[in-house]
Amino acid sequence: MKHIFFIFILFLAAGCTTQNTRERNTITVSILPQKYIVEQIAGNQFPVNVMLPPGASPADYEPSPQQVENMSNSFIYFYVGHLGFEKSWMKRFREAAEDVDYISSSKRIDLLRSDVNHVHEGDHEHGTDPHIWTSPENVKTISRTIYETLKQKYPEKADTFKINLDYFISRIDSLDYHIRTELADTTSNSFMIFHPALGYYARDYHLDQLSIEYEGKSPSPAHMKKMIDIAAKKNINTVFVQNQFETSKARAVAKEINANVESIDPLAENWLQEMYSLTAKMKKALTTHE
């Protein structure tokens, strides 16, 4: 059935590929934070199409035929490169729309593997942590990739793109300074999270990410017990959760250690605002109370 469904998608998208690339002005991205970053560089000059809708899981999402058609009408697709749904669909996207330029946002980024900062994600290519956008330093690199791509496509607008890039990077530098200042006087460096989405944030700011989810799967009772023991030993007072993933087992761990459950949204569209919000919550979580 899925094979027939995909043939239909290819047929639908094929009708769009005859359109001259120069007539296209839409940019496609995989997730909402990328949309925000693209708009900081490009301004409002290009509509931005997002493949993953709000609330959907990036691990196993299946795009609709309409989304594939919209992607096929784009002139660029900035993809993350290691999200679960990208692994399943990127080859099909390329087959459906061969004349779209596919640009990896992971270019020139030092990627984390599954054995770093307790990141365990079996559904990611070669154990790569895909959450590159949770690092301000990574986002500067992503922004430069977007700038270089748009500059090449539209050299007459290069000056505008450069002004936008420089301004956005200055805001990221301010964010980075804020994070380092806020976390400088915390009393712990270990935090607990259900889905290990903050590995790059942890690397940037010398934190230890403790993941309840294990190898990309819901944790076993034995792993739950292990995490409860670790949390008690490290005096963890907060368990972070995301709405795109189950929360019941995270709440069970939090109940056992008498910790708060705090929601974060690394997939929020307003990346800068979410990073400030995350940092406020992280500072609170890393301040232990005897």
- Burial code (b: 16+ CB inside 10 Å, e: under 16) for 93-109 equals beebbeebebbbbbeeb
Domain count within the chain: 2
Statement: residue 117 has pLDDT above 90? no
Alpha-carbon distance of 227 to 222, in angstroms, equals 9
Give residue 98's pLDDT band: very low, low, confident or very high (50, 70, 90): very high
pLDDT tens, position by position, 24-51: 789 999 999 999 999 999 999 999 999 9
Q: What is the mean pLDDT of the chain?
A: 88
Q: Percentage of residues in the chain with pLDDT exceeding 70?
A: 87
Same-domain pairing of 39 and 111: yes
User: Looking at the domain assignment, is residue 77 inside a domain?
Assistant: yes
User: Looking at the domain assignment, is residue 165 inside a domain?
Assistant: no
Range of the domain at 206: 178-285
Q: The domain that contains 60 carries what CATH number?
A: 3.40.50.1980
User: Looking at the domain assignment, is residue 167 inside a domain?
Assistant: no
User: Looking at the domain assignment, is residue 162 inside a domain?
Assistant: no
Same-domain pairing of 48 and 138: yes
Q: What is the mean pLDDT of residues 258-279?
A: 97
User: Looking at the domain assignment, is residue 190 inside a domain?
Assistant: yes
pLDDT tens, position by position, 192-206: 999 999 999 999 999
Q: What pLDDT shows up at residue 23?
A: 61
Give residue 243's pLDDT band: very low, low, confident or very high (50, 70, 90): confident
Same-domain pairing of 152 and 23: yes
User: Looking at the domain assignment, is residue 144 inside a domain?
Assistant: yes
- Please, which residues have CB within 8 angstroms of residue 284's CB and are 6 or more apart in sequence? 238, 262
Same-domain pairing of 192 and 90: no
Same-domain pairing of 209 and 269: yes
Q: Which amino acid is at 39?
A: E
- Are 183 and 286 a contacting pair, CB within 8 Å? yes
Same-domain pairing of 185 and 231: yes
Same-domain pairing of 152 and 57: yes
- Are 208 and 118 a contacting pair, CB within 8 Å? yes
Same-domain pairing of 134 and 21: yes
Give residue 7's pLDDT band: very low, low, confident or very high (50, 70, 90): very low
Q: Percentage of residues in the chain with pLDDT exceeding 90?
A: 72
Same-domain pairing of 42 and 78: yes
User: Looking at the domain assignment, is residue 43 inside a domain?
Assistant: yes
Statement: residue 84 has pLDDT above 60? yes
E strand residue ranges, the chain: 26-29, 48-50, 74-79, 101-104, 190-193, 208-211, 238-241, 260-263
pLDDT tens, position by position, 102-111: 999 999 999 9
Q: Is 188 exposed, middle or buried (0-12, 13-18, 19+ CB in 10 A)?
A: middle
